[in-house]
Amino acid sequence: MKGNTSLSKGSTLLRELGITALSIVLAFGISAFIVWAAGFSVSAVFINLWKGAFGGKLALGSTLTKSTPIILTSLSFLLAFRCGLFNIGAEGQLYIGAIVAAVVGAYIHLPAALHVVVCLLAGGLGGALWGWIPGYLKAKRGVNEFVSTMMLSYVAIGLTDYLVAPRGPLHDTKYWANQTIRIAPTAALPRIMKPTQVSMALIVAVFFALVVWYYLFRTPAGYELRGVGLSPPAAEYGGIRIERKLILALTLAGFLAGLAGTGEVLGTHFRFIGRFSPGYGWDGIAGGLIARAHPIGAIFAALLMGALRAGGMQVQRSGAAPGDIAAVIQGLVIFFIIAPTLIRVLIHWRKK
Amino acid sequence: MPEFAVDMRGIVKRFPGVVANDSVDFAVERGEIHGLLGENGAGKTVLMSTLYGLYRPDAGEILINGHPQSNYGPATAIRLGIGMVHQHFMLVPRLSVAENIMLGQEPIKSGIFLDREAAIRQIQKFSNQYGLPIDPKARVDQLPVGAQQRVEIIKALYRGADTLILDEPTAVLTEQEVEHLGSALRKLKQEGKATILITHKLREAIEICDRITVLRKGRVIGTVHASETNERELAEMMVGRDVVFTVRRTEAKETPEPVLRAKEIEAEDDRGLLALKGVSFDVRKNEILGIAGVQGNGQAELAEVLTGLRPIRKGSVSLGGQDLTGKTVRDFIDAGIAHIPADRHLRGLVMNFSLRENAILGRQRIHQFAPSRFWQNQLEITNYTKRIVEEFGVKTPSVYVLAQNLSGGNQQRLIVGREFSKEPRMIIAAQPTRGLDVGGIEYVHEQLLKMRDHGAAVLLISMDLDEVMMLSDRIAVIYNGSIVAIRDPEDTDRRELGELMLSGARAQTGAEEEG
């Protein structure tokens, strides 16, 4: 019986992967048509897309660097999603995490290894606070987290903008740019693929994907969190305090998004720069959905998103097509993967 | 040769891993009430969904009014006069009866305006003609279940149904409502309409139907005339073996020791209205206390109050001397209360959890399954689930399957297995056999008695009076949020209990005598 089970488990996994692969192929097919219809060279666009994402060490480094925060924001989205919540505010949690990490990294002095760990924790906790607020409001006042997390994102972006602006308290007076002073070398995450910007933050992100997997599927707390997400009345029947789980889920989601921002500060920029994120928080929503809310899947979903970002930049740089076309391709890929039902309908239709 | 309204020949329908219908021949005459009987998973619903055009058979043909059908779908089925009343009603709660019925086929006046009056007239005509009393202007969500069912039937008739399929229509009805439904169906029969009644209640099938077809494991076992059969024969056809009908009850041991004490409990329902108005009773060790009553008299709220799911406004609950008033569900579970909830889809199982995950629901934090906060013992959970599956006869390909893929009866077995495996001191069993087939009902009854004999106290809340009478050591009748009488089953009968259930006020004295 056991062998039978793992077989059926395996086949559904294969099916899911197959559908995802088919979605990507379809998306590229339609993208090719749009590129062609818009009057650009299909081959030039796709060659540059590939070159920018995987064509050599620099390209790969660019992809991995961009994927790193998206792994964490994808985890942030999917963790809340597993509890039945939509965390749309990873972007804001990311900014709060980043500014806290930048402050702890620059103004507190500790021995090397310890300093990094303290910065990671502090950044995570900053994000956690930004997740706890909508969690608390949801549990105690029924405030829709979809709206509150998104609105708090704008608050976070505005707040951090102010802090690092020329008259703000955290502004680095040596430069005109909106940024903090550099963090201490003891707080930096080492680069692991020089000369690219890939840092230990990638390892941290992958490690947390494993942690989130373990938490969700191998601990009683994760079991309860998923129970609330799948059926609140049954969870309540099982003695699970739903309110607490909602708060916890959004707090943990905030922690993960905060870590994403922290990794950017400690591993990529070595300081907080106002509006540094090109939308990694929003990418996490797509990443979490592409991963079908599975933590290990989030690693690969983020890689895809990072590759599209890196490749898209190359498409623009090479002059093969404007950046808008790259954005269209990116959008189509995401759309097709997130709409697996569409693919299923097509399969069903063919059978008929 | 009689003309068949519906004639299904050699229907085969396969799903991955199962043959749901295996060469099924099924024919219904005009003006006939035809029962379709079978256990859960016997293939009744699949056959009827095929007739309604929702499934395409892998083999076989369908004749409607003698004409073979090709390219058969729901639209064709409706056009040819097939109407279906689903077990779960398909009504828009916030619309009126008339609006629901005319939805999709609205009568029009002056070209563009809805002709509400015409619809209401038409509905009233059907209502009088077939003895289906209904107020066309009432809002559906304010109607009792029985009335909603009448709305569904009239809706089907309004769409010109000549053949009505009723899926388990009596599962949600009180005895009186079942009688009304029966007489309405007989009127339909006089008008030449054919009715197919899906059920697994033997007595009703015999009382209401003309002929009965029994399905077992996807095959037709036989078609019999209701006048020439009896419950025992039908039950044998359904399950393929002799069925013990009256559970052999052992006498309750004389133990005065109360396990659960409910004192003057007051609680509100979801709308904030007082649903329990000072309910008091004890449930003793080695005893089944049955709660009899018509649905909606406070039973649902009572079960929730006694499991911590609903706050108490006044009064107290204690278990074995431990006060549980105002405590959390967790405290109730830890104190040793097991709960078979009335709504297994909503509360009893997380449908998208596997059997393993469902097997520990409520006890996910105990040491056996979670030796520490950071470790769930997967192997132990798997073995534990396998034990439940084996001991309680849950039919499943593996313990990794999602609960939603089990049939209703097997879902209930899983819940019963989980709750009884807790070795509880107190069992709150709400509608434990609702929707189960004969074999399943028998099984749950045996298990409840076994738990009682092993020292548990059992509170049995059921709309099925036969069930309450058969199992209970004492019977409490609930009416309008109060316990109006407590009776010994030896000293009462269906008649008296029925009267108490319908108008409790008359018999207040009984409750006082019992104390």
Which chain A residues are Cβ-neighbours of B374 within 8 angstroms? Answer: 219
How many independent structural domains does chain A possess?
A: 1
Q: Would you state the pLDDT for residue B491?
A: 86
Q: Would you state the pLDDT for residue B504?
A: 55
* Model pTM score: 0.75
Q: Nearest C-alpha of chain A: how many angstroms from B374?
A: 5
Greatest C-alpha distance within chain A: 69
Q: Would you state the pLDDT for residue A170?
A: 94
Q: Nearest C-alpha of chain A: how many angstroms from B162?
A: 30
Integer Cα distance of A258 and A69 in angstroms: 10
Domain assignment present for A281 = yes
Give percent above pLDDT 90 in chain B.
Answer: 47
pLDDT at A352 over 70: no
Domain assignment present for A142 = yes
Alpha carbon distances (Å) from A47 to A50, A323, A333, B57: 5, 15, 17, 50
Q: Would you state the pLDDT for residue A130?
A: 98
Q: Would you state the pLDDT for residue A222?
A: 97
Sheet-wide strand order for B482-487: B337-340, B426-430, B457-462, B287-292, B474-479, B482-487
Domain assignment present for B27 = yes
Return the amino acid letter for A80. Answer: A
Range of the domain at B313: 259-348+423-514
Integer Cα distance of B188 and B132 in angstroms: 10
* Residue indicated by tokens 């076992």: B221
> Which positions in chain A have a beta carbon within 8 angstroms of at least one beta carbon in chain B?
1-2, 4-5, 8-9, 218-221, 223-224, 226-227, 230-231, 233-239, 241
Q: What are the φ/ψ torsions at residue A84 (nearest 5 degrees)?
A: 85, 15
* Least confident stretch, A30-34, A75-79, A81-85, B2-6: B2-6
Query: How high does pLDDT run on average in chain A?
Result: 91
Domain assignment present for A76 = yes
Closest chain A residue to B345, measured at CA? A234
Please give the full DSSP string across A158-182, using - where no structure is assigned: HHHHHHHSTTSTT--TT-SSSB-PP
Integer Cα distance of B483 and B276 in angstroms: 9
In 3D space, the residue among B407, B378, B380 whose CA is nearest the CA of residue B395 turns out to be B407
Which chain A residues are Cβ-neighbours of B339 within 8 angstroms? Answer: 237
CB–CB of B237/B438 below 8 Å?
Answer: no
Integer Cα distance of A87 and A84 in angstroms: 10
Contact A230 B333 (CB under 8 A): no
Cβ count within 10 A of residue A200: 18
Q: Nearest C-alpha of chain A: how many angstroms from B404?
A: 12
Q: Choose the final residue of a domain: B192, B207, B239.
A: B239
Which chain B residues are Cβ-neighbours of A236 within 8 angstroms? Answer: 309, 329, 347
Which chain A residues are Cβ-neighbours of B329 within 8 angstroms? Answer: 236-239
Strands B211-216 and B274-284: unpaired
Place A348 in a pLDDT band, splitting at 50, 70 and 90: low
Which chain B residues are Cβ-neighbours of A5 within 8 angstroms? Answer: 397-400
B457 and B501 together in one domain: yes
Contact B357 A233 (CB under 8 A): no
B282 and B227 together in one domain: no
Helix, coil or strand: residue B428: strand
Q: Would you state the pLDDT for residue B247?
A: 55
B23 and B129 together in one domain: yes
Long-range contacts, B222-230 (Cβ 8 Å, 24+): B226/B35, B230/B206
Contact B373 A9 (CB under 8 A): no
In this structure, is the dihedral angle defined by the CA atoms of residues B135, B138, B144 and B147, taken in order, positive or negative?
positive
Integer Cα distance of B327 and B277 in angstroms: 20
Which chain B residues are Cβ-neighbours of A4 within 8 angstroms? Answer: 397-398
Tens of pLDDT, residue by residue over B188-246, are 999 889 999 998 777 888 989 999 999 988 899 999 999 998 887 887 787 665 554 55
- More confident position, A210 or B119: A210
B50 and B169 together in one domain: yes
B226 and B193 together in one domain: yes
Residue B329 touches partner A, C-beta closer than 8 Å: yes
Domain assignment present for B318 = yes
B296 and B330 together in one domain: yes
Place A11 in a pLDDT band, splitting at 50, 70 and 90: low
CB–CB of A70/A302 below 8 Å?
Answer: yes
Q: Would you state the pLDDT for residue A75?
A: 98
Per-residue pLDDT, averaged over B296-304, amounts to 91
Q: What are the φ/ψ torsions at residue B145 (nearest 5 degrees)?
A: -55, -40
Tens of pLDDT, residue by residue over B365-397, are 999 999 999 999 999 999 999 999 999 989 888
Range of the domain at A179: 68-295
Integer Cα distance of B333 and B340 in angstroms: 12
The first and second tokens of residue A192, run together, are 């692991």
Residue B17 touches partner A, C-beta closer than 8 Å: no
Tens of pLDDT, residue by residue over A103-139, are 999 999 999 899 999 999 999 999 999 999 999 999 9
- More confident position, B179 or A129: A129
Q: Choose the final residue of a domain: B211, B239, B267.
A: B239
Contact B357 A223 (CB under 8 A): yes
Please give the full DSSP string across B235-247, using - where no structure is assigned: HHHHHSS----S-
How many alpha carbons fall within 13 Å on the CB side of residue A27?
A: 24
How many independent structural domains does chain B possess?
A: 2
Integer Cα distance of B282 and B252 in angstroms: 15
Integer Cα distance of B284 and B456 in angstroms: 8
pLDDT at A1 over 70: no
Which of B347, B364, B399 lies at the smallest CB-CB distance from A233? B347
Which chain B residues are Cβ-neighbours of A15 within 8 angstroms? Answer: none
CATH code: domain of residue B308: 3.40.50.300
Integer Cα distance of A349 and B471 in angstroms: 52
Alpha carbon distances (Å) from A189 to A74, A125, B5, B261: 21, 18, 78, 62
In this structure, is the dihedral angle defined by the CA atoms of residues A133, A134, A139 and A141, taken in order, positive or negative?
positive
Strand partners, B61: B9
Which of B343, B361, B370 lies at the smallest CB-CB distance from A238? B361
Which chain A residues are Cβ-neighbours of B346 within 8 angstroms? Answer: 231, 233-234
| Angle at the Cα of B502 from the Cα atoms of B500 and B506, rounded to 5 degrees | 50
Q: Would you state the pLDDT for residue B251?
A: 62
Helix, coil or strand: residue A199: strand
Domain assignment present for B87 = yes
Contact A220 B353 (CB under 8 A): no
Strand partners, B224: B212
What are the percentages of helix, strand and coil residues in chain A, rounded to 5? 75, 0, 20
Q: Would you state the pLDDT for residue B420?
A: 94
- More confident position, A348 or B476: B476
Contact B353 A5 (CB under 8 A): no
Query: How high does pLDDT run on average in chain B?
Result: 87
Radius of gyration of chain B (CA): 24
Per-residue pLDDT, averaged over A203-215, amounts to 98
B265 and B204 together in one domain: no
Strands B33-37 and B211-216: parallel
Residue B344 touches partner A, C-beta closer than 8 Å: no
B217 and B68 together in one domain: yes
Regarding an ipTM greater than 0.85, the answer is yes
- More confident position, B481 or B2: B481
Q: What are the φ/ψ torsions at residue B7 (nearest 5 degrees)?
A: -140, 110
Domain assignment present for A9 = no
In 3D space, the residue among A281, A298, A300 whose CA is nearest the CA of residue A289 turns out to be A298
Residue B348 touches partner A, C-beta closer than 8 Å: yes
Domain assignment present for A47 = no
Tens of pLDDT, residue by residue over B409-457, are 889 999 999 999 999 999 999 989 876 777 888 889 999 999 999 989 9
B228 and B282 together in one domain: no
Strand partners, B11: B24
B212 and B300 together in one domain: no
Integer Cα distance of B309 and B20 in angstroms: 39
Q: Choose the final residue of a domain: B239, B268, B297.
A: B239
Which of A9, A220, A237 lies at the smallest CB-CB distance from B364? A220
Integer Cα distance of B460 and B474 in angstroms: 10
pLDDT at A3 over 50: no
Domain assignment present for B482 = yes
Return the amino acid letter for A91. Answer: E
Which of A212, A237, A244, A292 best probes binding to B when mutated, by most B CB atoms within 10 angstroms?
A237
| Angle at the Cα of B210 from the Cα atoms of B240 and B14, rounded to 5 degrees | 50
